[in-house]
Amino acid sequence: MQVVHTFAEARDTTGVDLALVPTMGYLHEGHLSLIEKAKAETSVVCVSIFVNPTQFDVAADLSSYPRDLERDLALCEAAGVDTVLVPSAEEVYPEPLDPIDPGPAAEGMEGAHRPGHFEGVATVVHRFLTALDPHHAYFGRKDAQQVAVIRTMAAEHGLDVEIVPGSTVREQDGLALSSRNVRLGLDRARAVGISESLFAAADAAEAGERSAAGLQALVELELQVRGLQPEYVTLADAVWMKPVGEVHREAVLATAVPVGGVRLIDNIVLAPAGPGVVVDRGVRLDRPSILYR
């Protein structure tokens, strides 16, 4: 495995099928599942580790974001990664670098609650994709709106890259893995209420409930009885991330919930199937996450 600090060193010049897995580090099984998928589908896998300052709308969230490069490099090595790219801020943001418009998929949900967040995401991902020129780039469905923003951004800019989504990976009790989970402390017990509330709606959808009003109200109620207050609960179409009235094509039921001092997001994916609805709840680990090792 090579560890490099510039795009030039990470770029592949031999014409092989290069996959990029962009991360902000403090790796967990969500990241590792993307790496595994990339390894199975492509020939050279590059993982980038860069805590991108421009996508943080709250300074304290950036300064307290967990970091441990040594740990991440050991995990990448064990996962069979070919190249780890750890660029400096100067390498990522040479002057002048115009911000990239994140487009209409960025307007609601996270975009509405985190001003500037998706402009930061679109700008940094555009920079990585143009500087590295990978054939494939892997992103987790846990950040469903991010996948939509990047897909539409890549299409809008004519980038020759396939954006590949990976399933949401969850802890044994259902909590979606996030590097931020290590900051939960005693609030960890309450945080599982987020996935429990979404899964209650998944059960209802599988039993025939297709309306946004019904599904959203159910999640809100389930969160409330667990003492959790969401910033939003929204049923949106999976491509443009616009609110929809019912599940008539693939949709996400997404929420953002502050738990103690940590803001967590989660979603489930719903798709019509004949008269009913099928729900993708992601995959659960069968043992405790490496986050706590």
**DSSP character string of 204-271:** HHHTT--BHHHHHHHHHHHHHHTT---SEEEEEETTT--B-SB-SSSEEEEEEEEETTEEEEEEEEEE
Active-site residue flag, 31: yes
Decide whether 18 or 204 has the Cβ nearer to ligand AMP: 18
Residue 202 CA to residue 150 CA, distance in Å, equals 26
To ligand AMP, the closest distance from the beta carbon of 36 in angstroms equals 11
To ligand AMP, the closest distance from the beta carbon of 30 in angstroms equals 3
To ligand AMP, the closest distance from the beta carbon of 149 in angstroms equals 12
To ligand AMP, the closest distance from the beta carbon of 57 in angstroms equals 15
Q: Which is the catalytic residue, given 5, 28, 31, 136?
A: 31
Residue 73 CA to residue 1 CA, distance in Å, equals 9
Residue 21 CA to residue 5 CA, distance in Å, equals 15
What is the three-class DSSP state of 57? coil
Residue 216 CA to residue 171 CA, distance in Å, equals 24
To ligand AMP, the closest distance from the beta carbon of 184 in angstroms equals 14
Residue 30 CA to residue 175 CA, distance in Å, equals 12
Would you tell me which residues interact with ligand AMP (CB under 6 A)?
A: 23-24, 30-31, 33-34, 139-140, 142-143, 166, 168-169, 176-179
CA distances from 276 to 214, 234, 247, 250 (A): 15, 20, 10, 12
Closest residue to bound ligand AMP by CB: 140
Question: Which residues fall within 8 angstroms of residue 273, CB to CB, at 6 or more apart?
Answer: none
Q: Output the six-digit token pair for 137.
A: 């780039």
Question: Which residues form the catalytic set?
Answer: 31
